[in-house]
Structure 1
Amino acid sequence: MNRRSLLAAPLLLPALAATQAHAQAQNPTRLRMALLPDENASTIIQNAQPLRTHLMQALGRDVQVVVTTDYSSMIEAMRFGRIEIAYFGPFSYVLAKSRAEGIEPFAVGVERGSPTYRSIIIATADGPVKKLEDVRGHPMAFGDQASTSSHLVPRATILRRTGLVGERDFRVVHVGTHDAVARTVQSGRAPVGALSELIFHSLLARNVIQRERLVDVAFSDPIPNYPMVMQGNLAPELKQAIRNAFLNLRDGELLRNFRVEGFAATDDAAYDVLRETARILNLDLGRMS
């Protein structure tokens, strides 16, 4: 892995009050779950309704689903205990973990039998970019700075395969969401861009973008998929119930809304590959988060 009836959680509480609530709310009667704003917020909220219903039934308590304004606000909400559960992107989880050591990844999306996905680099069909080396000298559209498949991984892929460095050999342009990247490239405002392959195919299926106006340039190596993450100070029985609610989820329609066929158990070590990717790119996790 979206605002009306769901987006009511107090994500902008003062940090002190949030920290106090975080320390006290080990077994809250209401759980707040945040979803990553990697697409249009209204689409995410629409897709989230069945998951909210499932969790309320499985956990026997109210569940409030929110979409934060950007990746950084989601990281800060987790850090200060304003949310109990979050569906992070892989790299935004790594950034969150660097600020909030107590949070725990517990489930990862599985697609086609694998807990991984890929980034795709696309170009305008009639534009100047036909292969990765052609990125040199052109603006390239990326999503949020903390996005895995729409920033971190594609930049590392270009570096490893061509030696081209962002901001030295090509201009880095952040446009926010994955769908904004696709639209930017299709319109020609940037001749090349990167986003999640799964989101790319979803945008095609929904006719948000047109296949004939875009070409595939490259795919990344497999990336560990989006993790579900919870606050580590929740009561043990509640944490187990939350794990079970995701790991035992079998509703195909609900799962398709999150572009997965199921959830498998995961842990922090699964995301070390992204810490290494950030190191290769000379990114300071502390400064980014």
Structure 2
Amino acid sequence: MIYLTSAKNIKSLFATVLASIALLSASLSLAQPVLRVSAIPDESPTELQRKFKPLGEYLEKKLGMKVAFTPVTDYAASVEGLVNNKLDLVWFGGFTFVQAKIRSNNQVIPLVQREEDEKFKSVFITTRHDITKLQDLKGKTFTFGSESSTSGHLMPRSFLLAANINPETDMKRIAFSGAHDATVAAVAGGKVDAGALNISVWERLLSQGKVNANVVHVFYTTPGYYDYNWTVRADMPPALRAKLANAFLALDKSDPHDKEILDLQRATRFIPTKAENYSAIETAARSAGLLK
């Protein structure tokens, strides 16, 4: 049997299709927004994911939106991701924050930092007993972390220069391990005579038994300086920015669930911060020739 479609039926079908498209468009526009988060890769990807998971779940509840963590390949990618609107919130070191500030023409805002980041420190480590002070590094092999690392390169370099040690001319060879835990591995494995990394990672590796303090030891600890922070773009809606900052500030170590999050972040608590806190790092970077 053959059915002939009337003009009326065609109009009805067309109207149904249009209605379906409108409903689909509406549902897509109402799709749950996503906060895209990342961090400088100063530790292994698995460690970064482990540290962020409870924090991400906490932020989802506080913000009422999905939170997705995306690892990046290197420090520069974290800067470009935020500046180019591919990321919304990034865990920066002080130097990478300064790079993002300059790269974006001051269009990024540091929201919060750990209380520990007000007076952060780097440690210099070695397996050798004839290295007891910075001056003993002359003629030795040495590794920094990533070239864009505040605590693994910029500040250790600035303290070396202040001690009249130029890594390029006074040391036998310098290298860049790429991450703090890789620096410890390079020193412990005898690939270099000494290295520098952030004190927080060093203390974590010690507490986890992943480094033998009888073999690898600290011979110099730097004075304190401002370091890590959570940064957003300046075009983030003010209401969301306030909710995000308040979520971090509300974390309380007396609450068992919050304590788990803070412990993984190696933080006592989060406190507000501002761009001016990192002016000394910018000055150090320019003095070291690391900012053009």
Q: Which of 170, 176, 193 is matched with 2:178 structurally? A: 176
User: Cα distance, 1:156 vs. partner?
Assistant: 0.9
4+ residue stretches of structure 1 with deviation over 2 A? none
User: Cα distance, 1:223 vs. partner?
Assistant: 1.6
User: Cα distance, 1:160 vs. partner?
Assistant: 0.8
Report the number of matched residues.
256
2:16 is matched with none
SS at match of 2:111: strand
TM-score under structure 1 length normalisation: 0.85
Mapped pair 1:123 → 2:130: no
SS at match of 1:67: coil
Are the equivalent residues in 2 in contact too, given 1:109–1:225 (CA < 8 A)? no
Inter-partner Cα distance in structure 2 for 1:157 and 1:146: 16
1:164 is matched with 165
SS at match of 1:282: coil
Deviations 1:5-43 (A, max 9, x none): xxxxxxxxxxxxxxxxxxxxxxx8111011221111101
Deviations 1:81-125 (A, max 9, x none): 1000011011111111110121100101113xx722100001114
The letter for the 2-side match of 1:105 is P
Deviations 1:140-174 (A, max 9, x none): 1111001011101111111112x011211113200
The letter for the 1-side match of 2:200 is L
2:112 is matched with 107
2:280 is matched with 273
Q: Which of 82, 87, 92 is matched with 2:86 structurally? A: 82
Inter-partner Cα distance in structure 1 for 2:208 and 2:217: 18
Inter-partner Cα distance in structure 1 for 2:49 and 2:285: 31
1:18 is matched with none
User: Cα distance, 1:280 vs. partner?
Assistant: 2.5
Query: Unpaired segments of 5 or more residues in structure 2?
Result: 1-31, 253-257
> Would you tell me which structure has more helix in proportion to its own residues?
2
User: Cα distance, 1:130 vs. partner?
Assistant: 2.5
User: Cα distance, 1:225 vs. partner?
Assistant: 3.0
Listed as ranges, the matches of 1:203-218 within 5 Å are 203-218=205-220
Inter-partner Cα distance in structure 1 for 2:170 and 2:99: 26
Q: Which of 242, 262, 272 is matched with 2:269 structurally? A: 262
Are the equivalent residues in 1 in contact too, given 2:83–2:233 (CA < 8 A)? no
The letter for the 1-side match of 2:60 is M
Inter-partner Cα distance in structure 1 for 2:59 and 2:128: 43
Are the equivalent residues in 2 in contact too, given 1:110–1:225 (CA < 8 A)? no
The letter for the 2-side match of 1:78 is L
Listed as ranges, the matches of 1:1-289 within 5 Å are 29-100=33-104, 101-111=106-116, 115-126=118-129, 128-161=130-163, 163-170=164-171, 171-250=173-252, 251-283=258-290, 285-286=291-292
Q: Share of identical aligned residues, percent?
A: 29
User: Cα distance, 1:79 vs. partner?
Assistant: 1.4
Inter-partner Cα distance in structure 1 for 2:289 and 2:42: 24
The letter for the 1-side match of 2:152 is S
